Chains A and B, each alone.
Chain A
Amino acid sequence: MKRKGLRFYFRIYRKILAQDLKSKMSYRADFIISTIGMIFTNIAGFVSFWILFRSFPEVNGWGYHEILFLYGFSLISLTPVQCFFDNNWSLRMYVYSGDFIKYCFRPINLFFYYQSEVFDVKGLGQLAFGLGTLIYSWNRIGLPFTPVMILKTVVFLITASLIMIAVMNAAAATCFWITNSFYVMDLALKFKDYARYPITIFSPFFRFIFTFLMPIAFIAYYPSLVILRPDEVPLLSWLSPLFGCVFFWLSYKFWMYGAMKYSGTGS
């Protein structure tokens, strides 16, 4: 079979996306309520943040605006996983009921087809919050606003997103082996809340774990160092784009391995 090019996949994605949005629009009330729920979640996050830092001006040498920067950074880097990979949450249902088999018969990449089926618009609200926070703290810290800085920010934001996508892919793929992967995914989702803290608060042992075994430090901390503390960037920060790609590739292989093993339910 001839390999299909990027252009082909891009065109297909647009078509599937349009269908998904149409079907979402038919449940308008649900859509509006979910969006409000998402906004609530973000506001509550900010309120807790604000309450906390009223009492404490800094944490471990990190000022209020710097922590806010990490927060905004993590919100933006979580947007792609929310928008484009939300169908991972339904994977266990499809696998359990046997409906997953329908994806296996399409002449396009299985992983691509499965993930493209759902686009979660709610993630865009999160993106807006994240951008606002990032720009505000950027100004307050007084970071220079140059093309190089922006390029760096974009590259490292993509890096951070790849890590989070990889974590969720791997968590979702566990359902090919265990029936109820919801708890695994729920656990993985909690990672995003922990990613907002500077890794230096942990003891060396946990710093190692959160860097290499559960790569949550790459979701905000290591990538933002490049922008926030340009004088003391550790090697790990520069390596993070590479890690992002590697983790993503590994999670893709793991997901596909599970899917290829899938034998249906016989119905």
Chain B
Amino acid sequence: MKIKRYLALTRAGILESFQYRLAMLVMIAGNLLYLIVVYFFWKAVYASSGSDVVNGMTFSDTLIYLVLATALFNFMEMYTVWEIGRNIQSGKIVLDLLKPMRYRSYLFWSYSGTLATQFVFTFLPTFVIVCIATNGAVPLGVNLLYFAVSVVMAVIINYAVDFMTGTVCLYTESIWGINIMKQVIVLLLSGATIPVAFFPEGMKRAVGYMPFQSIYNTPLTILLNGKPDFTEVLEALGTQAFWCIVLLILSSLFWKVSLRKITVNGG
């Protein structure tokens, strides 16, 4: 019974995202352009380095990693911070809080429809194209299964981070600044712009203690490893699960405390 009302939100989201077909087209065009730039840039970088393997990654590894990182980003980006921030400014948040559902779940599930369409229309095609274009450099085996599990946890961690950042808007009423800070930190430290393997030793260790690399680096590293060592994968997934739980609890507590502070102008 309970799941049914969540799925109703998913369905509405799917229908809604079909309304914005032009936006989707522009986004696909933008991605294509980005992929072209990334391809040529890294090709030049590898060509000038004189060796095929840099920091344990070949050119095709790096390319697959970065292309899929972008695909993951597009699919996971929920604009949660903007949504919460705008709802606070407009006062709509009061109506959402009155719904017979926790606000955090409501927000997540009302976005889940877009998540699903994005997955089918941007992530899957990119994945297939990458598989074909790199001539089977993507290992297709049991790692795909691990990858799927890892991505689900990545979505949860990403959402928890976003939700916490959005909660900060209750205090600051500044959306742009808060959002850009979060985005910059997450994209850099998660390895979405440059694979974590390229980081200097000290930074790599520091990033290892943070939740961000669980969002992009963990799923992508798992995917690229064709002969996964079971304990290694288990360790990576365990770390992700740990962050999932910690961040979910933290974001929930933070929200509860902050909700007392809420001031809505008019609304």
The residues of A with any CB-CB pair to B shorter than 8 Å are 27, 29-30, 33-38, 40-41, 44, 47-48, 51-52, 54-56, 58-61, 178, 180, 182-184, 186-187, 190, 194, 197, 201-203, 206, 214
Contact = CB atoms under 8 A, between A and B. Distances in A.
Interface in B9-53: 20, 22-23, 26-27, 29-30, 33-34, 36-37, 40-41, 43-45, 47-49
Interface of B: 20, 22-23, 26-27, 29-30, 33-34, 36-37, 40-41, 43-45, 47-49, 54-55, 172-174, 176-181, 184-185, 187-188, 193-194, 198-200, 203
Given A30-B177, A36-B177, A180 B48 contact: no
Nearest to B197: A55
Given A30-B172, A187-B29, A197-B41, A51 B199 contact: yes
Nearest to A186: B30
A232 to B, nearest CB: 18
- The interface centre, meaning the residue of B43, B181, B199 with most chain A CB atoms within 10 A of its CB, is B181
Contacts of B173: 27, 29-30
Given A40-B185, A58-B48, A197-B37, A34 B27 contact: no
Given A55-B49, A55-B55, A203 B40 contact: yes
B181 A201 contact: no
B181 A40 contact: yes
Contacts of B20: 180
A239 to B, nearest CB: 24
A183 B48 contact: no
Given A37-B177, A56-B48, A214-B33, 15 more contacts: A33-B181, A36-B177, A36-B181, A41-B180, A44-B185, A51-B199, A54-B200, A56-B54, A59-B41, A59-B45, A183-B23, A184-B26, A190-B33, A194-B37, A203-B40
B30 A33 contact: no
B188 A47 contact: yes
A38 B183 CA distance: 12
B45 A180 contact: no
B54 A55 contact: yes
6 contacts: A29-B172, A36-B181, A37-B178, A47-B188, A194-B37, A202-B40
Nearest to B187: A44
A191 to B, nearest CB: 9
Nearest to A47: B188
A201 B174 contact: no
Contacts of A178: 22
B26 A183 contact: yes
Question: Interface of chain A, helix or strand or loop or mixed?
Answer: helix
A194 B38 CA distance: 9
A201 B41 contact: yes
Contact of A34 (B48, B176, B198): B176
Contacts of B193: 48
A60 B187 CA distance: 26
Contacts of A44: 184-185, 187-188
Given A51-B198, A56-B48, A183-B26, A37 B40 contact: no
A135 B160 CA distance: 42
B26 A206 contact: no
B9 to A, nearest CB: 22
A187 B22 CA distance: 13
A37 B48 contact: no
Contacts of B33: 187, 190, 194, 214
Contact of A56 (B27, B34, B49, B185): B49
Given A48-B193, A183-B30, A194-B37, A33 B45 contact: no
B30 A201 contact: no
Identify the interface centre among A30, A194, A201, A206: most chain B CB within 10 Å of its CB.
Answer: A201
Contacts of B188: 44, 47-48
A214 B193 CA distance: 23
A60 B44 contact: yes
Nearest to B178: A33
B30 A30 contact: no
